[in-house]
Amino acid sequence: MAFDVGTPINTALLLFIIYSVQKIVFPSTSPPKEIPNEFRSGYSWLPKSHQPTVLFKTYTPKTLEPFHGKDNGRILLAINGIVFDVTAGRSFYGPNGMYGNFAGRDASRGMAKQSFDIEMLTPIDQPLDKLADLQQDEIENMKGWVEHFSNKYIICGKLVENNAA
Amino acid sequence: MAPSISDLLVTDDLTILLGLIAGTVFLLRTFYRPQPLVHPILLGRQSEVAKVRNPGESAVYRNYGTGLMNRFPLRPHKDVQVLTDLVRSDMEAPRTLWDTKITNAALQDRVASFGTGLLRLADLQSQESNVLLLLNDCIEFLIADLALSSHSIPSMTLAAANLLSPVLDTHPPSAIITHAEFLPTLLELIYDAGEEGRHHTIVVVGEPSSRVMASVASKVKVLLWTDVEREGFKVPKIMTPLPKPSDVFSVSFFADNTGHVQGTQITHTNLTAGVAAIHALFPVSALLSSLDTIVSSHSLGGTYGRAVAYAAIFEGTSFSTTESSKLFRVDEGTVKQDVVDVLSAQLYSIPSATILFLKPTHLDALVDAILREAKKSFLLNAFAWRHKISGISEGFVSRDTLWDRLVYDAARANVIGEGAGTVRAVIVGGGLLPANLLTPARVALSCPIINTLTHPAVVGPVFALHALDLQDFSTVEEDSAKSFAPVGPPTVSIEVKLLGVDDSAVEDGADPSGTLVVRGPPVTKQLSGEELETPSGYVNIRTGESVSSGNGDDEDGWTNLGVKIRVLTNGAFRVVV
């Protein structure tokens, strides 16, 4: 058998072998130009962005109102001066949800009295509801809801009067 | 004649041969790739981040293994409540501490005898007295520390020798324990301070010369260590009530980066949490065990060195320290932190070192020496280096490869000596490691190199890389000679936050960067300014009763470490230049 690599298949196979052997014996050692963003693209990789964190802000009734979720944005609501981010519960607090009235508003009275009526909400340009006329068991009920919301949703701010911020 | 398809596709025996070879080579390349030691997907999320952050601050970060909801590990084992519990009675095998081969039971006996002897001969009162330990790292340091803690007498230690006179001035101890060689210097200091009118009790390790003994003033009582131990051995042991884990057992004085003397109170809980953090540095496949030998270059007077020593005691390993960790010397020279220093620990009769706790300067010198040795076999080294680097860039390193046998084992043996084959992990702390040293170190030592961030106010490491993490983020453009290597996520018992963060930059997606504050069981309570300057009431054993909250504290118990640091997107941290 003459050593003849003139046939194309043999040449192709020989080139493939030479290429592979070269890669095995001389592996590349240069660092990549950019740090990859996927773990499949390289071992030394970094995710593209940080874990999302919410900045703790001070809200007034006027600045809280835009977060009603009707425009697919974040949904916030306030109980007892604490603002919760309830975007995860869009089905409840979104525009078509059962408790949609509360989105972007101070829901303290509604939570205390266990009612979702519009009358429970104070208009935005008036001072905050002092909750002075609530019974002790209603206050306890509201505090229970604060506890529930703290475990389920993110506390992302506090609610103050319109002219205090 | 134009070649037809059948002419092009002609095959013969050579084709079959080449085909087989090509197939083999292809399979080799595809399946013989080294597997990463830890899957890179796990390295993409190393810290658990809180969902909310205050303005001007970053979110709170914890180790991903601990999580945000769980409590911090306070101790390496549920039975370890106070310091003396770290000497486990259920371990029976002897191990070598510096030059002494001793079992845990014998160590406990010595601790009890010394404690009793000291209480009797030096007239110390539990909870009232305090003792200054002016000892270089030796077994007597540990025995004294354990004995004093079991009788609720706080010990005072120094992280540097030049802190001695300020500390003696402001916090005169009831007794001092020191070495025989250092006794003349100490006596001089006492006489110079005009204090020879006050009663001093000094316990001396070793045999002081009779000339020195003759120069001792009348009000200064000098006892020999061996006498104290013997005294305690023959009489029934004094039992004091067990200390509570929140009691202070030691005060460590160190100089901060402005040069001022700072002191920090270490409680039993701080130390057990620090030992738990060191235990968690090692992966499950390679935990510390009594077969290991730990060599540390961090002095026992500082919090980190103490955590390492007690971790060695708890795990039952043999332990010794390097020459540079000796703080108190008779001669004025400083020891260079290089390879000779690392090898000096081996001069004690410990078995060959398996785990090294070093400073960055030691690692630099060691890696430099090993790589220079390896370059002597020029051609082989060129291949070996390439293969090692490409293995590391895939996440794999090992001491058993062909290239180690050909090149690096010999290089390591020439530099470290016969013990070179046993080193299985190196933990770097007590300084900042340059970024361009990390990968060459992994090639040279071919074992996990764990970079940590330490601080004198925290017992144990603050941040530590995952043991099997081999990532290297130096790209072609970045100047890695100037930047520092990443230090990884916070350790299992610490949570961290950054202050002074630029909110608008972070909201846009930049890396949060600011001053580091920490909170957690290993973080000690620093003494406030007035507590440092006056001796009155500075060390209340029950830390809950101290009035001032310490100058490093902030509301909610965060301690400012004064380090500028940045968070990467995968949860690892990196010190900013």
- For position B550, what pLDDT does the model report? 38
How do residues B205-244 score in pLDDT, each as one tens digit? 888 888 888 887 777 888 888 988 888 888 888 888 888 8
Chain B, nearest residue to A20 by Cα:
B25
**A70 CB-contact burial (10 Å; exposed 0-12 / middle 13-18 / buried 19+):** middle
Q: Which of B49, B393, B506 sits opposite A43 (nearest CB)?
A: B393
Q: Report in angstroms the alpha-carbon separations of B547 from A139, B428, B514, B543.
A: 37, 37, 30, 9
Looking from the CA of B100 toward its CB, the CA atoms found within 13 Å total 13
Question: Tokens standing for B490?
Answer: 């916070």
Set of chain B residues whose Cβ sits within 8 Å of the Cβ of A57: 55
Lowest mean pLDDT among B158-167, B292-301, B454-463: B158-167
Q: Which of B14, B40, B59 sits opposite A45 (nearest CB)?
A: B40
Find all residues with CB under 8 Å of B31, minimum gap 6, and list them: none
Percentage of chain B modeled with pLDDT above 70: 91
Quick check: B505 pLDDT over 90? no
Query: Is residue B262 classed as helix, strand or coil in its secondary structure?
Result: strand
Set of chain B residues whose Cβ sits within 8 Å of the Cβ of A88: none
How do residues A106-147 score in pLDDT, each as one tens digit? 888 888 888 888 887 888 888 888 888 888 888 888 888 899
Set of chain A residues whose Cβ sits within 8 Å of the Cβ of B25: 16-17, 20-21, 24
DSSP characters over B104-161: HHHHHHHHHHHHHHHHHHTT--TTT--EEEE--SSHHHHHHHHHHHHTT--EEEESSG
Are residues B141 and B98 in contact, defined by beta-carbon separation less than 8 angstroms? Answer: no
User: What count of CB pairs under 8 Å joins A to B?
Assistant: 139
Find all residues with CB under 8 Å of A144, minimum gap 6, and list them: none
Q: Which of A3, A42, A48 sits opposite B569 (nearest CB)?
A: A48
In angstroms, the CA B175 to CA B253 distance is 17
B30, B436, B473, B502, best to mutate vs chain A, most A CBs in 10 Å: B473
Chain A, nearest residue to B504 by Cα:
A55
Question: Tokens standing for B539?
Answer: 């060390």
CA B189 to chain centre: 31
Task: Tell the residue number behind the tokens 């949860």, with chain if given.
Answer: B571
Model ipTM value: 0.80
Q: What one-character DSSP code corresponds to residue B180? A: T
Closest CA to B410 of B373, B445, B436: B373
Q: Report in angstroms the alpha-carbon separations of B256 from B156, B543, B551, B565.
A: 17, 22, 13, 18
**B554 CB-contact burial (10 Å; exposed 0-12 / middle 13-18 / buried 19+):** middle
- For position B28, what pLDDT does the model report? 85
How do residues B389-423 score in pLDDT, each as one tens digit? 888 888 888 888 888 888 888 888 888 887 788 89
Are residues A72 and A79 in contact, defined by beta-carbon separation less than 8 angstroms? Answer: no
Pair type for strands B248-255 and B155-158: parallel
Q: Which of A1, A24, A55 sits opposite B29 (nearest CB)?
A: A24
Cβ <8 Å between A17 and B25 = yes
Cβ <8 Å between A56 and B52 = yes
The pTM assigned to this predicted structure is 0.87
Cβ <8 Å between A56 and B55 = yes
Set of chain B residues whose Cβ sits within 8 Å of the Cβ of A50: 49, 506, 509, 511-512, 567, 569
- For position B537, what pLDDT does the model report? 41
Which is more confident, B431 or A2? B431
Query: Is residue B473 classed as helix, strand or coil in its secondary structure?
Result: coil
In angstroms, the CA B249 to CA B148 distance is 8
Are residues B245 and B42 in contact, defined by beta-carbon separation less than 8 angstroms? Answer: no
Set of chain A residues whose Cβ sits within 8 Å of the Cβ of B386: 26-27, 29
Chain A, nearest residue to B395 by Cα:
A43
Say which amino acid occupies A120. Answer: M
Pair type for strands A54-55 and B559-567: unpaired
Q: Which of B26, B40, B383 sits opposite A39 (nearest CB)?
A: B40
How do residues B333-342 score in pLDDT, each as one tens digit? 677 778 888 8
- For position B543, what pLDDT does the model report? 44
